[in-house]
Amino acid sequence: MVKSALIYEGRGKQMYRAGGSADTCIVEFNDGATSYDGDERREFEEKGTLRNHITTILMEVLESENIPTFYRRPDGTRGMEVSALNLFPIEVVCYNAASGSFMRRLGLAEGEVLPFTVVEFFFRGRGPCSPALRVSGLREITTITEGDVKTMQARTIMANKTLRKFLYNKGLVLAEMRLVFGKTLEGGLRIGDEISPDTCRLWLRDDHEKIDRGRFLKELGTDEEGYRKAASLISN
C-alpha cells in the first residue's frame, strides 16, 4: 500500500497512514542508534533494514503459533504494513537470564539463568529507570482492564517461550525481551512495536557475546556488526 500522512516519528522509526485506510499503517525503521538518555545518537548503515528484517521474521514466528501481533506483511526493505493500534502507555519486560538493571537490582551475576521467567510492567518512554508497576495498580493509571493485564501476561509468557526456543535453535540466547501491546480499532489486543536487538538482549549461545543494542551503549563495537550477526543466524 502507499503511505500517506505521517502519524508518528520517534528515535528509531516512523509510522504512516497507509493510503486512505483507517486500520492500516506502514512502519519504517531508520538507521539511528540512541543512548538511553537520548544524549548520544549515531547513524549505522543498514540498521533500519536489519531491524525490519529481524522483526518481520520474529513476528511471523509468533503469528505461526497463533500469538496475535500487529504485523501484516513486508513493505520494502525497511518497512512493514501493520494494523493500526492504540498502544498502552506501558511496556512488558520478561527476563530469562540476569542482565542490565534487573541483574543489578537483585545482585546476580550477568548471564545467570533464572529458575523461571520474570515478567514486569513499566511506564513507557521514561528512561531505563522507569519504576516497575504492580499489576494491581495498572488499572489506576490507565484504561487497562483486569482482563487486559491477564492477557498481556499470558501472551508475554507464550511469546517468550516461542521466541526463546526459536532463537536458541538459531544459536542465540534471549536474555531479556520488551513487548508493547495495544488494541485494534475493533478492540483486539495485539503485540505491536518491534522485536529486534533494539528491544531484546540477545547473546550468542556459545560464548554470550552481546549482539544487541548494548554493543553501542557499551562501546563493544557497532550496532550494525551485531545486528548483522543476529539477522544472519535468524535467517538460516
C-alpha cell read off for 114: 533464572
Answer whether 122's CB lies under 8 Å from 180's CB: no
Q: Kindly report the backbone phi and psi dihedral angles of residue 191, in degrees, each rounded to the nearest multiple of 5, phi listed first.
A: -80, 135
Tell me, rounded to whole angstroms, the distance of Cα 12 from its chain centroid: 12
Helix axis angle for 47-64 and 223-235, nearest 10°, is: 30
pLDDT at 135: 56
pTM of the model: 0.89
Q: Domains of the chain (ranges plus CATH)?
A: 3-83 (3.30.200.20), 88-235 (3.30.470.20)
The pLDDT assigned to 221 comes to 52
C-alpha to C-alpha distance for 124 and 85, rounded to whole angstroms: 15
CA neighbor of 215 nearest in space, from 205, 207, 224, 204: 224
C-beta of residue 26 within 8 angstroms of C-beta of residue 18: yes
pLDDT tens across the length of the chain (236 residues): 688 889 888 888 999 999 878 899 999 999 876 655 455 567 777 889 999 999 999 999 999 999 999 999 999 999 999 999 998 888 999 999 988 888 888 888 888 899 999 999 987 754 444 455 555 556 566 678 889 989 999 999 999 999 999 999 999 999 999 999 999 999 999 999 999 998 999 999 999 888 887 655 555 455 678 889 999 999 98
Per-residue pLDDT at 233:
97
Q: At 81, is the secondary structure helix, strand, or coil?
A: strand
Alpha-carbon distance 46 to 48, whole Å? 5
How much is the pLDDT for 8? 84
pLDDT value at position 4?
A: 83
Residue by residue, what is the 3-state secondary structure of 88-129?
CCEEEEEEEECCHHHHHHHCCCCCCEEEEEEEEEEECCCCCC
At 130 the pLDDT is 46
Residue for cell digits 499503517?
Answer: 25
Using the CB atoms, write b or e for 27-56: b if 16+ within 10 Å.
bbbbbbbbeeeeeeeeebebbbbbbbbbbb
